Structure formats: C-alpha cells, structure tokens
Amino acid sequence: MNDDAVMRRIAQRDAAAFSHVVDSHAERLHRIAWRMIGDAAEAEDVAQESLLRLWAQAGAWQSGKAGIGAWLNRVAMNLCLDRLRRRRFASDEEVPERADDSPAADALLDSERLRAQAVAALGALSERQRAAIVLTYYEELPNTMAATAMDMNLKAFESLLFRARAAMREALAARGLISLERAA
C-alpha cells in the first residue's frame, strides 16, 4: 500500500493503518531524536509527538509529496531543534525582573577604598573645618543654616569653609587621590 492510501485510511481513523506507520517509523524517529538531543526519554517524547502530529494532521495530507517517512523525519527534526533552543534559555534560577545594574566586585572594592581614604582625609581636618565640610557637602545645608548650626556669622563660616576646602584638597592630595595642580 502506498503512502497516500495509508494516509487516507489514517484520516478515516483506521487504527491498523496508524499502527503500521508506528511500527515502520517509530524506531527511526527515536534514533534521530536521541542523536540530536542525547536523552532517551526526550527522544521517546519526540518520536511519540511526531507520530501524534501525523495522526492529528492526516486529513490535511497532500498526495504526491515526499512521503510519510520524510514528513515524520522533518517533524521530528523540528521538534528536536525546538527542544534544543529551549534548553539554551532554560535555567533553574528565576528570571530577574531587570538587569543587575549593581557595580562589579572590583568597582565596589575601588569605591570602598576611595571612600575610606576620603573619610580619613576628612578626619585629618580640624573639628571645625570637618563640621563645615560635613554640614555643607554631606548634609547639603545652605551656608546660612550651616553657619547658624555652628553658631557663627555667615562671613566667618564662609571663611572657615574656604580654609576647610583647601585643607581637604591637601589631605586628598597627600593620599594620592587628587593632584593639587588639577584641583586649583
């Protein structure tokens, strides 16, 4: 019996005709899938799904085409390729909601080293100069509020802040964090 006749019988839901196709092609489909995927259980699934698609689409069979074997081979190959593509993207981890934009470990270490040196430079200042820098740059207080917090008039605070900046530049330059030529 030719392929077109077998497919007409399968389209009419002839179990014997379908059983004949299964007996003739299932082993080859399994071999193809096993060689492609490398997993016996998945190869069995591919072979079965290929045959089930033949059963489901038997009514749409077009006479004079390549034949049942070629059609099943193509379906099995496509199923294998789909599974291999899914494997590439499969992971046991949950997919993050967004990309991790946190700095890399070496950047964190550099940042921490710089922060520690800046804190040490700040600590080298006199208490009043340190207070002027902290209130102005870390707490972002306007000069008038910083002067009030230090119980100083505005002109005296601005003079103290000027000297504090110069001392901070020198302390940072001593630690190699800035160049005094560039900072001036």
**What is the per-residue DSSP string for the chain?**
--HHHHHHHHHTT-HHHHHHHHHHHHHHHHHHHHHHH--HHHHHHHHHHHHHHHHHTGGG--TTSS-HHHHHHHHHHHHHHHHHHHHHH--SSPPPSS---SPPHHHHHHHHHHHHHHHHHHHTS-HHHHHHHIIIIIS---HHHHHHHTT--HHHHHHHHHHHHHHHHHHHHHTTSS-HHHH-
Is pTM beyond 0.75? Reply is no
> pLDDT digit string (tens) for 87-117?
766 555 565 565 566 767 777 777 788 888 8
* Percentage above 90 pLDDT, the chain: 36
> pLDDT digit string (tens) for 8-58?
999 999 999 999 999 999 999 998 888 888 889 999 999 999 999 999 999
Q: What is the mean pLDDT of residues 156-179?
A: 89
Q: What is the mean pLDDT of residues 136-146?
A: 86
**Weakest-pLDDT range from 43-47, 73-77, 173-177:** 173-177
